[in-house]
Amino acid sequence: MAASLPPSRPRIPGSGLAKGLAVTLRTMTRKTVTEQYPDAQPELPPRTRGVIGLFEENCTVCMLCARECPDWCIYIDSHKETVPAATPGGRDRSRNVLDRFAIDFSLCMYCGICIEVCPFDALFWSPEFEYAETDIRDLTHERDKLREWMWTVPAPPALDPGAEEPKELAAARRTADKLAAQQEPAAPEQPAPEQEGRE
């Protein structure tokens, strides 16, 4: 059997209109406050999406950010460089060297896909938003300018002390413990030399 519904009050015609007008009047009677922007900086959340900073040392020129960008506003140029072998008889290796990394902020829609897909954490959000220019061509920031934005990137939030350690660290610790356990039995204990008694 269906449960009975509680009795509802009869609706007064125009009650919704009266509630809406009450909200409007309440808002109209409040004093308006204008923030004096250049003098008083707005308080932004620490992870605000302002401008993108480049940590160039982490960039491996994998081009993932440029390929995944829906606006095609990331420009990357690189060349291959041969690195000599580290050991004698080894093979020379080639690696990509970054020549140009630029982001056109006149096209960027601040979606953050480039930051999410970067496998080496080379791109970060900075809360800075004051980079307006008088010429639209100046909104293309080259790698030197993107590197300067890294100074404004906030530190990551602190880890919870009660949390378990990251899986990468746990795996590395287990591997190190296994290697240490294998090396201990491999080294046999040498008997201590006996002292000769003097008479």
| SS3 readout for 69-90 | CCCCCEEEEEEEEEECCCCCCC
Task: Indicate whether 159 belongs to any domain.
Answer: no
Q: Are 52 and 62 in contact (CB under 8 A)?
A: no
Per residue in 119-162, pLDDT tens?
Answer: 999 999 999 888 889 999 999 999 999 999 999 898 887 778 88
C-alpha triplet 179, 180, 181: angle, nearest 5°: 90
CATH of the domain at 117: 3.30.70.3270
For residue 117, give its domain range: 51-152
- Write down the pLDDT at residue 185: 66
pTM of the model: 0.63
The predicted model gives 170-194 an average pLDDT of: 74
Alpha helices by DSSP H, 91-142: 113-117
171 assigned to some structural domain: no
Number of domains comprising the chain: 1
**Is there a binding annotation on residue 108?**
yes
Which letter does DSSP use for residue 151 in this model? Answer: G
Question: Is 97 among the domain residues?
Answer: yes
Q: Residue 130 CB: number of other CB atoms within 10 A?
A: 8
On whether residue 65 sits in a domain, the answer given is yes
**73 annotated as ligand-binding:** no
Mean pLDDT of 98-117: 96
- Read off the tokens for 92: 């020379």
Asked whether residue 33 is domain-assigned, the answer is no
* 174 or 8, higher pLDDT: 174
- CA distances, 143 to each of 63, 85, 117, 127, 154 (Å): 15, 30, 19, 18, 19
d(CA 78, CA 101): 9
Classify the C-alpha dihedral 46-51-55-60 as positive or negative.
Answer: positive
To the question of whether residue 111 is assigned a binding role by annotation, the answer is yes
Residue linked to tokens 């939030």: 157
Query: Residue 44 carries which DSSP code?
Result: -
Within its chain, how far is the Cα of 100 from the centroid? 21
